[in-house]
Structure 1
């Protein structure tokens, strides 16, 4: 289950840059992504161990009073069926540093902390997509990165 905390709870100095790509929907991407002590690609993660992730410098394309998070894990392009818990979908309450509303043209950070990584695909490379959707369905931010979860 994914849990979100404010930036202050994520020890950024212990984290390294992870390679990521933009989502095909054209949503803004962060300037940096850190996930645990990963660098490059794929990021090596351990099932059952904590995951600390931080996306910084996402520039909101629109004003938005809301932000809904989604996470998709894909193996060979197919969704493996991970579902974000409904209580964690509200990124304004859990994840966006400073909460909402977001203002067009203003950068924000998004932190994700999973106390115990649980994804149904293990030992193989997967693509993880994390995105935020705002008022009226506007894509506020989205990124994809590769990981192997052992």
Structure 2
């Protein structure tokens, strides 16, 4: 089972490197950069039980929003493994968006994600992790997908 802790503090840059990511589609805003631990390239190697720290920097939403809800989808072979983010971590305004809300249309913001002990049931195989934010009236504020292998 996943254990997620979203924090509104910068993750030390020295622990992070750029990782390749893909957009979620339909014109949903993506970050300028995505850093995940010391990953670089197209597949992030992560270790179960070890911290996972990610920063999505430079997300620019074309719409403003007073609220922001975080979600995560983990897929194996294109199939959703059924993880649901616990309700206490869904309010990205208080636990993930640097500076909190509101989101101002056209103004860049950062989303910070911190998982103290990554635990995924699909170990040793490539998974796709999608992390996104939705705002007022379920408008998409930002989203990115990246591949990882959990060992």
Structure 2-normalised TM-score? Answer: 0.96
**1:65: which partner in 2?**
66
C-alpha distance in 2, partners of 1:25/1:126?
Answer: 22
The answer to whether the 8 Å contact 2:42/2:146 transfers is yes
| Count of residue pairs brought into register by the alignment | 149
| Contact 1:82–1:119 (CA under 8 A) maintained in structure 2 | no
Once superposed, which parts of structure 1, at least 4 consecutive aligned residues long, lie more than 6 Å away?
Answer: none
Secondary structure of the 1:87 match is: helix
* Pairs within 5 Å for 1:1-80: 1-8=3-10, 10-80=11-81
Q: Is the 8 A contact 1:18 1:34 kept in 2?
A: yes
Whether the aligned pair in 1 keeps the contact of 2:68 and 2:133 (CA below 8 Å) is: yes
Q: Which runs of 5+ in 2 are unaligned?
A: none
Q: Deviations over 1:36-64 (max 9, x none)?
A: 00000210001110011000000022110
Q: Which residue of 1 aligns with 2:127?
A: 126
Report the TM-score when normalising by structure 1: 0.96
CA RMSD, Structure 1 to Structure 2 (Å): 0.9
